[in-house]
């Protein structure tokens, strides 16, 4: 089973996705996201809980300066590496020339460590950072951890893309009212909330 990259440099490349056990972002929702974000040149992109990496690969295709895939599941990491190798062959690129990194780590630990590194970036790099967060909808504890990490200490100045579902996941009013989404993209019961954090 596969989904194709919809636009950009690697348009048409087929990203392999698992038959079961993972929920890739639907094609329609992904299309609506990237209709809005057609050019990510200069942005760093973190695909947290990446799964097959379909959103991160789309961001890479749209010009993201770096993409980090974060995944804790061994099977998903193996699939990510397979997709990276597939992209290398498909695009006739060298893997070292692609600005991508795969991190095999629990997302909570990754975000804790990443926040320290993020604080050392200059203002331009901080504001041009996107974190895409798409856990299994039923894993409410992961959403709680995300809220604790990004909204409590007010350290983040980039964009947070959160995918969830109003029935299976967390409702939109779960997120702090002090940070209203600048854009909400809906597809059935699923939604993607885009939150721009203000500069300090």
pLDDT per residue rounded down to tens, the chain (200 residues): 888 999 999 999 999 987 654 556 677 888 889 998 999 999 999 999 999 999 999 999 999 999 999 999 999 999 999 999 999 999 998 888 899 999 999 999 999 999 999 999 999 999 999 999 999 999 999 999 999 999 887 789 999 999 999 999 999 999 999 899 999 999 899 999 999 987 55
Count of other CB atoms within 10 angstroms of residue 6 = 19
The closest of 41, 125, 57 to 93, measured between CA atoms, is 57
For residue 1, give every residue at least 6 positions away whose Cβ sits within 8 Å of its Cβ, in sequence order, or none.
16, 17, 18, 19
pLDDT of residue 29: 85
| Beta-strand relationship, 183-187 and 190-196 | antiparallel
Cα radius of gyration rounded to whole Å, the chain: 16
pLDDT of residue 67: 98
Q: Which domain holds residue 122?
A: 2-196
DSSP structural state of residue 26: P
Q: Is 190 helix (H, G, I), strand (E, B) or coil?
A: strand
Sheet holding 66-71, edge to edge: 100-104, 66-71, 44-48, 129-133, 159-165, 190-196, 183-187
CA distances from 92 to 100, 149, 157 (A): 16, 39, 36
Q: What is the largest CA-CA distance in the chain?
A: 47
pLDDT of residue 2: 87
pTM of the model: 0.93
Report d(CA 117, CA 175) in Å as an integer. Answer: 25
Question: What is the number of domains present in the chain?
Answer: 1
Count of other CB atoms within 10 angstroms of residue 39 = 12
pLDDT of residue 34: 93
pLDDT of residue 145: 93
Count of other CB atoms within 10 angstroms of residue 94 = 8
- Domain of 70, CATH number, reads 3.40.50.150
pLDDT of residue 1: 80
Which residues in 48-69 are b (16+ Cβ under 10 Å) and which e?
bbbbbbbbbbbbbbbbbeebbb
Annotate 94-163 with DSSP letters as a single string.
-GGGS-EEEEES-HHHHHHHHHHHHTTS-HHHHHTEEEEE---TT-HHHHHHHHHHHHSS----SEEEEE
């Amino acid at each position: 089973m596969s989904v194709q990259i919809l636009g950009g440099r690697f348009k048409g490349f087929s990203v392999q996705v698992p038959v079961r056990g993972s929920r890739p972002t639907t094609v329609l929702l992904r299309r609506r996201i990237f209709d809005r974000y057609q050019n990510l040149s200069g942005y760093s992109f973190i695909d947290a809980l990446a799964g097959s990496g379909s959103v991160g690969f789309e961001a890479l295709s749209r010009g993201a300066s770096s993409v980090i895939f974060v995944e804790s599941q061994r099977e998903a990491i193996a699939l990510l590496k397979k997709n990276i190798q597939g992209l290398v062959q498909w695009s006739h690129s060298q893997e070292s020339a692609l600005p991508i990194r795969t991190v095999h780590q629990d997302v909570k630990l990754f975000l804790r460590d990443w926040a320290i590194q993020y604080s050392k970036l200059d203002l331009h790099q901080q504001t041009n950072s996107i974190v895409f967060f798409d856990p299994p909808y039923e894993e409410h504890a992961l959403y709680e951890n995300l809220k604790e990490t990004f909204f409590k200490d007010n350290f983040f100045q980039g964009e947070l893309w959160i995918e969830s579902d109003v029935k299976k996941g967390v409702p939109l009013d779960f997120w702090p009212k002090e940070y209203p989404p600048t854009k909400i993209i809906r597809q059935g019961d699923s939604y993607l909330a885009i939150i721009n954090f203000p500069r300090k």
